Amino acid sequence: MEKGKETADHVFPSSWYPDTTSEKVQRWTAPSCAKCNGEFGEKEKQILIRVALCINPTKAEALGMVKRAYRTLGIGVTDVDANEMKIREALKEEVFKEAQIYSGNPKDNIIPGLGPHPEVPHDQQYEIGIPADDLIAVVKKIVRGFEYWLGDGRIIEPPLDLEVFTLHEEDIPPAFAALLATTDKAELGPGVRVRRGAAVDGSGRCYTRW
């Protein structure tokens, strides 16, 4: 965190919660400088738009997210002025300029859970790119926030580092496979782990998080 005015940043982006989220769910925040908070807010918006366009809008776990994305892109919006509408239409053009009809060819960089939907013909689905650098940066921010809360304010800093990777079925460690088997809602997706190194507190312990 850079020096400057400190703000409270939502660990899990506030705009990413579906409409079905219980009021009892804790919405953690962690300290952040105003500059970083603003930069991450923009990255989170860009990712949300693209991810929301790749998920099934009828699922309870995603309820409201697609509608939110459409509004940000100016789709079906009538209550904003002309200048704001131009901004949203420009964003829509940027999102869709590289979109293409799904080819049906498997790709290593498809995020598990965001691949083609089996209930819709391939020629009616689009491939939409998600900026990898922004996605990785936001994933790391979320994990750092979790560590801050679950580790009593512990900060992940050198010599500890975060590594982000896409978890494919054939690469799942046995211990993690056993964990997935305990829940009926588990989905493969981006994973995060703390690379081993000397513990910051000098205890000699190293921490691993999935």
Residue 138 pLDDT: 93
Cα-flanking dihedrals φ and ψ of residue 32, to 5°? -155, 145
pLDDT category at 54 given cuts 50, 70, 90 is confident
Phi, psi dihedral angles at 30 (to 5 degrees): -135, 155
- Which pLDDT band, with edges at 50, 70 and 90, does 29 fall under? very high
Residues forming a β-bridge with 180: none
Domain range list for the chain:
6-132
Q: pLDDT digit string (tens) for 124-174?
A: 888 888 888 999 999 999 999 988 998 888 888 888 888 887 766 666 777
With a pLDDT cut of 90, the percent of the chain lying above it is 37
Q: CB-hemisphere CA count at 13 Å for 97? A: 6
What global pTM score does this model have? 0.75
Give dist(CA 69, CA 45) in Å, integer.
9
Render pLDDT for 183-207 as a digit per residue (tens, 0 to 9): 544 444 445 554 434 444 444 443 3
Per-residue model confidence as pLDDT tens digits over 81-128: 999 999 999 999 999 998 888 877 766 667 766 778 888 888 888 888
pLDDT digits (tens, 9 = 90+) for 56-72: 888 888 889 999 999 99
Instruction: Specify the pLDDT at position 67.
Output: 92
Report the distance separating Cα 89 and Cα 87, nearest Å: 6
